[in-house]
């Protein structure tokens, strides 16, 4: 089985707006090349365009293999494919700020669940704090898998869930079991374990602050050191693919937010 990361890069309002990333994990015996992962990456773009509002500009989607021994996370090994399209969902009233996310759980066939935190989804009529003083969903369409836009998001991703064919792999939760002994720091990790997703659930509101990186930049693209080459990890070997644009990963969100950040 081969394990992969698929990272979609989004901006607010257009190609020069604030930037953030949402990262998905994938697995499958058929996923042995970037070309074989591309159908899933394209479906993730369609899913985001269906659920996010029209202020969101989807800049690109990136693909990289996932290595259990690449700790700390290597931020430069994504092959990036330009998208350059706005999302399509219309919201009533003002748009909620980018820090306010739609929170979905990722439900695997076994093991712990994960989450997806989607910025650029909520409008002022989708949430209310009147009952508890904290934001709560008020839009049934954002809490029901049979009503758009959630149903549209899941429709695009359904071929890659446990009920799908698996012809182009599966969305998954990839974990690294801890194997350290008491008193040993930092912990070591066992072989990666990928649990295929059964679906999505637990629809709520999360608040994740945008964050500058250590250099004070906010989502700045950085060109690869080797011009017009993209680097990605294939097993224990680094492979150089010519004629692909490479984009370094610069975090601008809290690093402990599950699928938006480095794999935990």
Domain count along the chain: 1
* Predicted pLDDT of residue 220: 28
Task: Give me the DSSP letters along 136-174.
Answer: EE--GGGS-TTSTTHHHHHHHHGGGSTTS--TT-EEEEE
User: pLDDT truncated to tens, each residue of the chain (264 aa)?
Assistant: 578 889 999 999 999 999 999 989 999 888 888 899 999 999 999 999 999 999 999 999 999 887 654 555 555 678 889 999 999 999 988 999 988 999 999 999 877 788 888 999 999 999 998 888 888 998 888 988 899 999 999 999 999 999 988 888 999 988 766 665 556 565 555 566 788 999 999 899 988 776 543 333 333 232 222 222 222 222 222 333 332 332 232 223 233 333 333 333
- The pTM (predicted TM-score) of the whole model is 0.75
Please report the sign of the dihedral spanned by the C-alpha atoms of residue 90, residue 221, residue 42, residue 172: negative
Please report the sign of the dihedral spanned by the C-alpha atoms of residue 50, residue 51, residue 53, residue 58: negative
Cβ of 257: how many Cβ atoms within 10 Å? 19
Cα Dmax for the chain: 56
Domain, as residue range, for 140: 2-260
Tell me the C-alpha distance between 89 and 120, whole Å.
10
* Predicted pLDDT of residue 170: 94
* Predicted pLDDT of residue 253: 29
Residue 33's contacts (CB-CB under 8 Å, 6 or more residues apart) are: none
At 91, list the tokens. 């919201």
């Amino acid at each position: 089985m081969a394990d992969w990361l698929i990272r979609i890069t989004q901006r607010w309002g257009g190609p020069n707006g604030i930037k953030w990333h949402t990262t998905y994990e994938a697995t499958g015996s058929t996923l042995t090349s970037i070309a074989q992962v591309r159908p899933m990456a394209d479906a993730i773009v369609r899913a985001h365009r269906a659920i996010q509002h029209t202020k969101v500009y989807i800049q690109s989607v990136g693909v990289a293999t996932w290595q259990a021994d690449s700790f700390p996370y290597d931020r430069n090994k994504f092959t990036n494919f330009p998208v350059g399209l706005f999302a399509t969902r219309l919201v009533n009233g003002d748009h909620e700020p980018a820090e306010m996310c739609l929170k979905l759980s990722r439900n695997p066939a076994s093991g712990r669940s994960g989450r997806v935190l989607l910025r650029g989804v909520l409008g002022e009529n989708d949430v209310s704090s009147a009952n508890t003083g904290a934001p709560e969903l008020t839009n049934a369409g954002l809490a029901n898998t049979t009503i758009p836009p959630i149903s549209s998001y899941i429709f695009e991703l359904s071929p890659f869930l446990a009920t799908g064919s698996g012809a182009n792999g599966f969305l998954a939760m990839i974990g690294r079991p801890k194997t350290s002994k008491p008193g040993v720091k930092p912990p070591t990790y066992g072989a990666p374990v990928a649990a295929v997703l059964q679906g999505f659930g637990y629809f709520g509101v999360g608040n994740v602050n945008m964050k500058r990186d250590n250099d004070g930049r906010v989502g700045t693209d950085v060109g690869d050191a080797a011009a017009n080459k993209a680097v990605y990890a294939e097993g224990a070997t680094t492979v150089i693919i010519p004629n692909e644009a490479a984009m370094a990963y610069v975090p601008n969100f809290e690093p402990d937010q599950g699928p938006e950040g480095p794999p935990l």
